Structure 1
Amino acid sequence: MSARIIPFDYQGQAVAFNAEGWINATEAAARFGKRPVDWLRLSETRDYLEAMASALGLEGKVSQNHFGLTRTSRGGKAPGTWLHPKLAVRFAQWLDTRFAIWCDLQIDSLLRGESKPWASARREAAIGYRAVCDAVALNCEAQGKTPQRHHFINEARLINEVITGTFAGRNRDQLSAHELEVITLAELRDTVLIGQGMPYAERKGNLLGYVRGLLGKQIGRDAA
């Protein structure tokens, strides 16, 4: 897929669309224990595809990819079967009615160019990381040390560890807006703690408690 992938948060899990409104059907279907291939094999789906292709003037397209209304990516950052935005809601209805309504709203937002919340969250997370890096550099210089690349990498991994439990990198372009917001808040707190001269182990414990509080509040809102 050449268009930028934009993950949206649905009940705490990311669902991938691209900037043109196409949905990663393989990823979405897996959340409901289904497969897009089974939907595509239905006779009513085939009829719908033909009618949609006719309405969009796509009859001449090779039927291998369903008149150009589906795309398959076998590698890269977004593997799976992707569906044209004109098919996404119909497909989502086969999965779950509430999910279909949610998809309709997200696609409408994308096609209207209103996907700014994710872009803003991504930008803010980048700024938060920059602040952490500056704090790390200043802390090293105060101790008479020269900041090294691994200092910055380890700090980013610390943020990821207190959120996910794993000391490793994450592709932030594949995270939802909510996940990016949690990262930004953790980064801002970490920046303050570094500035206070708090040792690494104490910072880790402080950040763990802080992030658990953030996630607990989110779970409470979801349950309300």
Structure 2
Amino acid sequence: MSARIIPFDYQGQAVTFNADGWINATVAATRFGKVPNEWLRLSSTEEYIEKLASRMAESNTGKSRITLVTTRRGNTANSGTWLHPKLAVKFARWLSVDFEIWCDEQIDTLVRADHVTWQQARQQSAIGYRGLCEALAIAHEESGKTPRRHHFINEAKLINQAITGQFDGRNRDQLSAHELVLVTLIEIRDVLLIGQGKDFAARKASLLRYVQSLTSKHLRSDAA
């Protein structure tokens, strides 16, 4: 399974897929007051999985063993029972016909979409962070100080705080393309602020205002 987790909004609540179209059945079932094992224990489900696995194995000769259901324990975005895309829609039908149709649409988007946009956004955010670290290192060196690892970590947390309000780290592999673009824009602005000699507190205040201005522009664009 792909490690990148992608949350989709279904009627105001998140339903989690990964980039390969697998669905987190635990998350999906919870909103309907059910659990995946109820569906997996049905004789019709067992028969379907057995025949599907057999059919897929025929066209998978010489390759790795077919896996259609996997469970990950813990308390992370990866935790729960995950179903292969070929099982996801059938499972969704058991929950709700409307949800089945919606899931089919999301999976089709995931398995057919060109992921270059996300990859480009991820690459740009990585380049932006490297530039930010270089600017921070130069600023410290010009002040006669030695840049330490925690300086770079805190600057990344500052970027996140400007966006989320939380001075904490975030796994960028789990951010959407839109979120990655926002991160890159703020990194560029932070580099400019460092170049102007702004201290940490001043950069924080300026970045918060910048995020607010970006949000206002986005809201005005949506209303237009």
Shorter-chain TM-score: what band? 0.7 to 0.9
For 2:72, the equivalent position in structure 1 comes to 73
1:26-175 pair list within 5 angstroms: 26-30=26-30, 32=31, 34-37=33-36, 40=39, 46-48=43-45, 50-51=47-48, 53-57=50-54, 68-75=67-74, 78-93=78-93, 94=95, 97=98, 100-101=100-101, 103-112=103-112, 114-175=114-175
Deviations 1:144-201 (A, max 9, x none): 2221111101100111111222211112222222222221221111111111212221
For 2:196, the equivalent position in structure 1 comes to 196
Greater alpha carbon shift after TM alignment, 82-91 vs 128-137 = 82-91
Instruction: Verify the 8 A CA contact 2:8 2:17 in the aligned structure 1.
Output: no
SS at match of 2:169: coil
SS at match of 1:147: coil
Instruction: Verify the 8 A CA contact 2:7 2:14 in the aligned structure 1.
Output: yes
State the distance in 2 between where 1:10 and 1:217 align.
Answer: 23
Amino acid at match of 1:157: K
1:171-190 pair list within 5 angstroms: 171-190=171-190
Amino acid at match of 1:74: R
RMSD between aligned alpha carbons? 3.4
State the distance in 1 between where 2:104 and 2:115 align.
Answer: 14
The unaligned stretches of length 5 or more in structure 2 are 58-65
- Taking a change above 3 Å as real, the CA distance of residues 29 and 204 of structure 1, as seen in their structure-2 partners, is farther
SS at match of 2:71: strand
Amino acid at match of 2:73: R
Instruction: Verify the 8 A CA contact 1:21 1:110 in the aligned structure 2.
Output: yes
SS at match of 1:71: strand
State the distance in 2 between where 1:223 and 1:38 align.
Answer: 44
CA deviation after TM superposition for structure 1 residue 132, in Å: 0.9
CA deviation after TM superposition for structure 1 residue 42, in Å: 8.4
SS at match of 1:198: coil
Instruction: Verify the 8 A CA contact 1:7 1:14 in the aligned structure 2.
Output: no
State the distance in 1 between where 2:201 and 2:185 align.
Answer: 19
The unaligned stretches of length 5 or more in structure 1 are 61-66
SS at match of 2:144: coil
TM-score, normalised via structure 2 length: 0.76
1:5 aligns with 2:13: no
Greater alpha carbon shift after TM alignment, 104-113 vs 129-138 = 104-113
- Taking a change above 3 Å as real, the CA distance of residues 55 and 24 of structure 1, as seen in their structure-2 partners, is closer
- Taking a change above 3 Å as real, the CA distance of residues 41 and 86 of structure 1, as seen in their structure-2 partners, is closer
Amino acid at match of 1:123: Q
Instruction: Verify the 8 A CA contact 1:133 1:152 in the aligned structure 2.
Output: yes
TM-score, normalised via structure 1 length: 0.76
Percent identity over paired residues:
51
Greater alpha carbon shift after TM alignment, 213-222 vs 174-183 = 213-222
Instruction: Verify the 8 A CA contact 2:4 2:18 in the aligned structure 1.
Output: yes
The one of the two structures with greater contact order (alpha-carbon pairs below 8 A, sep at least 6) is: 1
